[in-house]
């Protein structure tokens, strides 16, 4: 491996955050706060995710979303 490639891998490895550990850390500090202002894990809306956009563009999916009253983003923000 070239030194440049190894350096890039090392930088990426050092910047990696394991979500479970980060969430646990946030939850431990947040559980003492009252009232709870928000969730530790923010809501996820796949309809607004550019990487999942194609999944929601088919005719069948649009009909299903309309039938279940989720055309405007579903139940998550």
DSSP letter for each residue of 44-67: --GGG-TTTGGGG-SHHHHHHHHH
Q: Who wins on pLDDT, 52 or 2?
A: 52
- pLDDT for residue 46: 86
Domain segments of the chain as ranges: 1-41, 43-77
- The pLDDT confidence band at residue 15, using thresholds 50, 70 and 90, is confident
Looking at residue 13, its pLDDT comes to: 84
Contacts of 69 (CB under 8 A, 6+ apart): none
pLDDT 10s digits, 32-42: 666 555 666 67
pLDDT for 75 equals: 63
């Amino acid at each position: 491996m070239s030194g440049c490639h190894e350096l890039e891998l090392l930088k990426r490895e050092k910047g990696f955050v394991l979500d479970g550990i980060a969430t646990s850390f946030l939850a431990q500090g947040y559980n003492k706060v009252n009232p709870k202002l928000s969730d530790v894990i923010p809501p996820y809306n796949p309809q607004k995710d550019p990487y999942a956009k194609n999944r929601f563009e088919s005719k069948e999916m649009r009909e299903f979303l309309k039938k279940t009253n989720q055309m405007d983003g579903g139940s998550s923000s």
